[in-house]
Amino acid sequence: MIDPMVWLIVLPLAWACFAFLLGPGRGARPAIAGLAVQLLLALQLAAGLNDSGAGAHAIGGWGAPLGIDLAADGLSVAMLLLTQVVVLPLAIYARTYFASYAAEARYFWPLAGFLIAGLNALFLSADLFNLYVTLELVGLAAVGLVAAGGGAKQITAALRYLFATLLGSGAYLLGVALIYGAYGTVSIPTLLPLVTAEAPDVVRLAGGLMLAGLMLKTALFPFHFWLPPAHGGAPAPVSALLSALVVKASFYLILRLWLGPFAPLAGIIAWLPALLGAAAIFWGSYQAICARRIKMLVAYSTVAQLGYLFLIFPLLPTEGALQAGIMQAYAHGLAKAAMFAAAGVLIEATGQDTVEGLAGAAQQLPLTLFAFGLAGITLMGLPPSAGFLAKWQLIEAALAQGHWIIAVAALAGGLLAAVYVFRVLRQAFLLAPVGDVRPVPRMLEWMALLLAAASVLLGLRGVELMQLLGVPAMGGAS
């Protein structure tokens, strides 16, 4: 029998190595075929989960504590699905996009494959150390992708990103070391009953180190300094991958630890991420409103949207808060991938990258502007988009617990998002004489539109996702 969990990790590794062997710039077709199969596998895993509960797999027949266990519950399968759903259209986009950028495409496919393998492995890992290894895999592959352009600007952004990500995972690793010193195990299911509210201070220190390291990797304000240059300077498909998925990986890990082993220690500290999240919403939106270049605008919008993810922490462990967080991860993942894809088309067509230069673009590229607008609807949180559903659930959960301040932050963020989205749209719809707009392959426009439409239409199909999230991990605790 085919175990989808194993193949979700092996398959991207296989096509990544194959693409590397084929040589620079090649390997798009096996990658797209592999990604299509991965999407089916993720769906199969989700269906299996709905029928028979959480899944587990001992690699090579060696169970924990000696071997490495893979585990899938509702949360991890939801993230796996998001990854495969976003990557497949992006891969088709990238294949067309890189046809005209040979230099930047040199190692895109192998690096993207390693990145996806790392992400899938991260979502399926069940012990803290394995999570560290996958975290590093994701980080190093992402740095490689940022550097792919090879110019001084990209290398600078890549180096800054590299040091930030290494610092983050270093802090996480020290936390793992302290946990192992305290309990003699790093397996999450084994740790669950061991960590109690009376845990020694060293465990609190470990939790703090891991949280700080992961917040740095998620680019939560004020640790966001590395994100805009890295995401704004990379080629469009890379920016989309990084903004939609990579930052979500460390967020997932925070959530996993917060709901899992560190749940008894959470308490009042939950307001710290929420406070930083609210600050991120305002600061990121403000910078997006001021940004001169369109990709910087979209990158700062990521900083703002990541803030929402952290607003849920004081509301956990209620089911509504978790659902709001994952729905926001989906909404932002799909919408931001669409937005970067659309921005890539706009830059390619107009030949320059400032917001001012977009004047009149709507006449030439209506499809792309439509995609940008749809993605904007999700970021603003207008119905019926997934972003609306996420904000609705967040506000509902906040008001149910009497934390109206969180609801205010979420609503204000939606208004600010409207300002920067309309800044782009207004400029594009100006009736200005258009310079020479280069023709752009239709495939690029359609893929951007597909992602944007998915981010809006998901709002109508949220129930299935919520159902999936409800599947608890092996051993009862969710």
Partner 1 sequence: MTSGLIFAFAGAALFAMGVAGVLLIDHLLRRILAFNLMGSGAFLVLVGLAQRSDAADPVPQAMVLTGIVVAVAATALALGLVRRFHGLTGKMELPVADDD
Query: Measured from the CB atom, is 182 or 468 closer to partner 1?
Result: 182
Which residue among 86, 147, 257, 311 contacts partner 1 (CB under 8 A)? Answer: 147
CB of 331 to partner 1, least distance (A): 26
CB atoms within 10 A of CB 351: 11
- The amino acid occupying position 265 is L
Which residue among 158, 342, 349, 397 contacts partner 1 (CB under 8 A)? Answer: 158
Which residue among 133, 194, 289, 453 contacts partner 1 (CB under 8 A)? Answer: 133
Distance CA 83, CA 38 (A): 10
Which residue among 250, 285, 287, 301 contacts partner 1 (CB under 8 A)? Answer: 287
Which residue among 6, 14, 159, 411 contacts partner 1 (CB under 8 A)? Answer: 159
CB of 26 to partner 1, least distance (A): 22
Query: Measured from the CB atom, is 111 or 374 closer to partner 1?
Result: 111
Query: Measured from the CB atom, is 181 or 383 closer to partner 1?
Result: 181
Should residue 143 be labelled a site residue for partner 1 when binding is judged by CB under 8 A?
Answer: yes
DSSP per-residue string spanning 357-404 = GGTTHHHH-HHHHHHHHHHHHHHHT-TTSHHHHHHHHHHHHHHHTT-H
CB atoms within 10 A of CB 5: 26
Should residue 170 be labelled a site residue for partner 1 when binding is judged by CB under 8 A?
Answer: yes
CB 85 within 8 A of CB 334: yes
DSSP per-residue string spanning 399-440 = HHTT-HHHHHHHHHHHHHHHHHHHHHHHHHHS------PPP-
Should residue 155 be labelled a site residue for partner 1 when binding is judged by CB under 8 A?
Answer: yes
CB of 456 to partner 1, least distance (A): 30
Site for partner 1 in 50-89 (CB under 8 A): 65
Should residue 163 be labelled a site residue for partner 1 when binding is judged by CB under 8 A?
Answer: yes
Should residue 284 be labelled a site residue for partner 1 when binding is judged by CB under 8 A?
Answer: no
First-to-final CA distance of the chain: 27
Q: Dig out the tokens for 426 from the structure.
A: 């207004």
Distance CA 184, CA 336 (A): 41
Should residue 403 be labelled a site residue for partner 1 when binding is judged by CB under 8 A?
Answer: no
**Nearest partner of 189 among 73, 305, 282, 88, judged by Cα:** 73
Should residue 228 be labelled a site residue for partner 1 when binding is judged by CB under 8 A?
Answer: yes
Should residue 296 be labelled a site residue for partner 1 when binding is judged by CB under 8 A?
Answer: yes
Should residue 292 be labelled a site residue for partner 1 when binding is judged by CB under 8 A?
Answer: yes
Query: Measured from the CB atom, is 140 or 334 closer to partner 1?
Result: 140
- CA 266, chain centre distance (Å): 24
Should residue 463 be labelled a site residue for partner 1 when binding is judged by CB under 8 A?
Answer: no
Should residue 118 be labelled a site residue for partner 1 when binding is judged by CB under 8 A?
Answer: no
CB of 95 to partner 1, least distance (A): 26
CB of 251 to partner 1, least distance (A): 21
Should residue 180 be labelled a site residue for partner 1 when binding is judged by CB under 8 A?
Answer: yes
Distance CA 137, CA 131 (A): 10
Residues near 458 by Cβ (< 8 Å), separated by ≥ 6? Answer: 330, 331, 334, 385, 386, 389, 465
Distance CA 238, CA 171 (A): 26
CB 379 within 8 A of CB 389: no
Residues near 207 by Cβ (< 8 Å), separated by ≥ 6? Answer: 175, 257, 262, 265
| Count of residues that interact with partner 1, criterion CB under 8 A | 41
Residues binding partner 1 (CB under 8 A): 65, 129, 132-133, 136, 140, 143-144, 147, 150-152, 155-156, 158-160, 162-163, 166-167, 170-171, 173-174, 176-178, 180-182, 184, 186, 225, 228-229, 287, 291-293, 296
